[in-house]
Amino acid sequence: MGRVDMRAFGIIAVCMLACLPPACERNTNDPTVASANRHIVTFDSLGGSAINQQAVAPGERLVEPAAPSRAGHTFTGWFTDPACSKPWNFKANTITGDSTLYARWSVNRYTLRYAAGPNGSIGGPAMQAVSHGESGATVTAIPARGHHFVQWSDGSTANPRTDAAVTANVSVTAAFLIKQYPLTYAPGAGGSIAGTALQVVNHGASGSPVTAVPNAGHRFAQWSDGSTANPRTDAAVTGAISATAIFTAEKHRRGIAPPESR
């Protein structure tokens, strides 16, 4: 009976050993596995996203973690010193004790491009390079003669313009339009205006003719800006014009009827 019990015990022991995974298949880098014969490796991302530590057996290699992230920076690798002068090679280096690896970062650089559309130019550095969070140099959209600045292609109307705290590339074009001027002609007492009394013309263009028409018993004297032209056509306009026709009553000698009554 004792011989049968020993035989059964042996079968149970063999089955238990068969259920254990081979040592080569165990995850020796699992930081949750406690062991006196493992070393803890900590990843210091130096301002980046957190990386889990690893528990590694002596002489084994680390599992390279996913790259951390950090706003405005690019990750460039893991190093064994805080100054990031000694790189860690995950394919070759092995663990010999508890240690810390440090992330190295390069600050992102951005390009600022400023261009002028038709009838204008850019004052200041039209092409710039700045680091993340820095400000660019001031630029000015300069309109050609007879034109005015409207806005930048990104909707900004700042002029001069300084892009501050830059976090991405900037590429904008300044838009310009030709200036337009109002021409306003009004009659004074004793007359009226024939033609278009209110006009809008482009810089350098000409308005349409207007005539100061006196009422009966009046005559046209001049416009309020000193012009005596009648009809009047303002040519090569470079600014707003507002002119009023001045009329005077005709004087008649006693006993002599005015011409229109003869």
Q: What is the pLDDT along the chain (262 residues), one digit of tens a residue?
A: 444 454 544 444 444 444 444 443 344 455 545 466 899 999 999 999 999 999 999 999 999 999 999 999 999 999 999 999 999 999 999 999 999 999 999 999 999 999 999 999 999 999 999 999 999 999 999 999 999 999 999 999 999 999 999 999 999 999 999 999 999 999 999 999 999 999 999 999 999 999 999 999 999 999 999 999 999 999 999 999 999 999 999 986 555 555 554 4
Q: How far is the C-alpha of 87 from the C-alpha of 41, rounded, in Å?
A: 15
Please name the amino acid found at residue 213: V
The full length of the chain comes to 262
Q: How far is CA 233 from CA 21, 81, 183, 206, 237, in A?
A: 103, 83, 10, 7, 10
Q: How far is the C-alpha of 211 from the C-alpha of 205, rounded, in Å?
A: 19
Q: What domains sit in the chain, N to C, each tagged with a CATH number?
A: 25-107 (2.60.40.4270), 109-178 (no CATH), 180-251 (no CATH)
- The pTM score is 0.70
Instruction: Give the CA-trace dihedral at 68, 70, 73, 78, to 10 degrees.
Output: -30
